[in-house]
Amino acid sequence: MTQRIVILGGGFAGMFTARELRRRLGKTVEIEVINDKNYFVFQPLLPEVAAGAIGAINAVTPLRFLLRGIFVRKAKVDSVDFDAKTVTVFQGVQRRPTVVPYDHLVIALGQGSDLSRTPGLADHALTMKTLEDARRLRGHVIERLEHAEITELPEVKRGALTFCVIGAGFSGIETVGEMKELIDRSLKYYPNIKPSEVRVVVLEFAERILGEMPDRLATYAADKLASRGVEVMLGTGVSSATGTQLVTTTGEVIDTRTIVATIGNAPSPVVLTMDVPLEHGKVVVARDFQVQGREAVWSLGDCALIPMKDGASERHDFAPPTAQFAVREARQLAANIEAQIKGRPTKPFAYKSQGALASLGAGRGIAEVWGMTFTGLFAWLVWRAYYLMFLPGVWTRVAVLFNWTKDLLSARSVVQIDTAPRTGARHLHYRAGDRIYESGNRADGFYTILSGKVEITRTDAGTGKGYTRVIGAGAHFGERLLLGETKRAATVRAVEDTQVLVLDREEFEKLSDGFGAFRQYFDDYIEDTFGNGTPHAAE
């Protein structure tokens, strides 16, 4: 009977494992890859997508192009029954549950983000994990430039032109470098913005950036970023965030409308539900990638804790979560699965890093290759050459090279293409004293207070008399949307640190039109509140 190998995840670890298994075992086994996207994302290029150096389509390759002869199932993994050797997934438009059997299971689900430990960060920060994140960041930066170009309010302009990146590892440094280049190359199209008005900050809780790189290269990177106008704040974390401010652990309040978080790695929620041993949120495996206590179950990549020597205990004793290691892990794992199928002993994983590279943007980089270190333009060219060769698929390489060449010879585009719309319901965090909205603003949302208190101030247009009211958790405001109002009639400020749930105007109106009890509640509420003409409530 033909053995079935099911791989969960289509990132570096999962995709390269599938390719290597196909190369080694050919058609003697059935290989299936389950991924919630139908494409492979080359994550090292996401900062360049965010900066517009290459198009979003050039950082991805269809899995069906890369995995010839391998069955690709676009679906979301729900659960694993290890006793029955099955995986349950939701697939298709109707998200039907489907049971997929396996003989060997490879868990390569990577990691996600969890910013919930810092108040307001999950609600207001952008992340850099996915293709959608990169596209969203580019559109967001251009929107801030557009806003700063036309606003007549100095405080709004200052916040719009302040860009903060949290975390100074590889992702953070490459993101801030590329973002700064996008801003610098775009300013010529915005005559009302002076370069001196732009503030770009990277915050790092440690005492140095790029902790994985030698001191000399980290120092060069910090100096180069500083020479380009990027502030590097070391020994500084984030204590809270709102839509207009970031508060550091040192007490500094930064007015900003842009917070990019490259920290907060967290295990995949699906992995947390699996009946497998976990440590620090990662699947515990032996040196040959077999999950402890589970027969014919393997794990690798960012979601696995992979020891590289017997008795591993220190951080450097385990494989780091990098693309370079994921590819080597995939090769060894495929060899071990082949060995087990053919009755041979498996081999432990052992690999020594060949070096590390980072782009700083603006044609500068740092590199450590085979013990040698390089900086500047040469290191940047080495970075590009390495990743160009590393890209899977010939046409992907051609497309990226073409885009890089075009970017060098032409202006950086400031076309703003809308990305996926924000969700209709979202959380927002406000610090004490923050203005939520003011009278005359467009009425575009309905607010429910989850924690904290707000002060609502309204002036009667006829008498000129003012009314003030303070409401707390469980109360709501903004419901005059149902009266057809297009402008706010009140000013609302947070009395203390406050979190609210916001329903966009369209979603609120849909609920009121389609849910009778919901509509009746607000009809009664509005009649009681505004029926006598006394404006004593929210608006």
pLDDT 10s digit of each residue in the chain, 539 long? 789 999 999 999 999 999 999 999 999 999 999 999 999 999 999 999 999 999 888 899 999 999 999 999 999 999 999 999 999 999 987 778 899 999 999 999 999 888 988 999 999 999 999 999 999 999 999 999 999 999 999 999 999 999 999 999 999 999 999 999 999 999 999 999 999 999 999 999 999 999 889 999 999 999 999 999 999 999 999 999 999 999 999 999 999 999 999 998 888 889 999 999 999 889 999 999 999 999 999 999 999 999 998 887 787 789 999 999 999 999 999 999 999 999 999 999 999 888 899 999 999 999 998 889 999 999 999 999 999 998 888 888 999 999 999 998 888 888 887 655 556 788 999 999 999 998 888 888 899 999 999 999 988 777 778 889 999 999 999 887 766 777 888 999 999 999 999 998 888 888 888 888 988 888 888 887 766 544 444 45
* Four-residue CA torsion sign, 441, 444, 450, 456: positive
Domain around 243: 121-263+355-409
463 contact partners, CB below 8 Å, separation of at least 6: none
Question: Do the beta carbons of residue 383 and residue 367 sit within 8 Å?
Answer: yes
The answer to whether position 419 is within a domain reads no
Please tell me the predicted confidence (pLDDT) of residue 316: 79
pLDDT score, position 295? 92
The pLDDT, as a whole number, for residue 421 is: 55
Q: What is the CATH number of the domain that holds 379?
A: 3.50.50.100
Contacts of 8 (CB under 8 A, 6+ apart): 14, 34, 77, 87, 105, 106, 107, 108, 109, 270
User: What is the reported pTM?
Assistant: 0.86
Residue 537, domain member (yes or no):
no
Q: From CA 270, how far away is CA 89, in angstroms rounded?
A: 11
- Extract long-range pairs of 329-333: CB within 8 Å, 24+ residues apart: 329/13, 329/289, 329/300, 329/301, 330/12, 330/13, 330/15, 330/16, 330/17, 330/19, 330/20, 330/300, 331/16, 331/20, 332/288, 332/289, 333/17, 333/20, 333/106, 333/289, 333/298, 333/300
84 belongs to a structural domain: yes
Phi and psi torsions of 288, nearest 5°: -95, 10
Domain-located, residue 420: no
- Residue 70 lies inside a defined structural domain of this protein: yes
Q: Are residues 395 and 481 in the same domain?
A: no
The per-residue pLDDT for 534 is 43
Residue 147 tokens read as 């806003």
Contact (Cβ atoms closer than 8 angstroms) between residue 160 and residue 344: no
| 331 and 360, same domain (yes or no) | no
User: For residue 535, what pLDDT is reported?
Assistant: 43
Q: How far is residue 483 CA from its own chain's centroid?
A: 38
101: how many CB neighbours lie within 10 A of its CB?
Answer: 12
- Write down the pLDDT at residue 104: 98
Q: Confirm whether 399 is domain-assigned.
A: yes
CATH of the domain at 452: 2.60.120.10
Total domains in the chain come to 3
Same domain, 331 and 403: no
Q: Residue-wise over 476-499: b if at least 16 C-beta within 10 A, else e?
A: bbbbbbbeeeeebbbbbbbeebbb
| C-alpha pair distances (Å), 357 with each of 99, 175, 366, 377, 433 | 42, 14, 6, 13, 44
Same domain, 131 and 107: no
96 forms beta bridges with: 91
Same domain, 107 and 229: no
**Structure tokens belonging to residue 63:** 């899995």
The H or E element that residue 258 is part of is strand 258-261
Within this chain, do residues 177 and 326 fall inside the same structural domain, yes or no? Answer: no
**Rounded distance, CA 268 to CA 264, Å?**
12
Is residue 181 in some structural domain? Answer: yes
Residues 132, 68: one domain? no
pLDDT at position 538? 43
Residue 168, class by beta-carbon neighbours within 10 Å (0-12 exposed, 13-18 middle, 19+ buried)?
buried
- What is the three-class DSSP state of 139? helix
Are residues 296 and 330 located together in one domain of the fold? yes
The whole-angstrom separation of Cα 333 and Cα 210 is 29
**Domain identity same for 298 and 432:** no
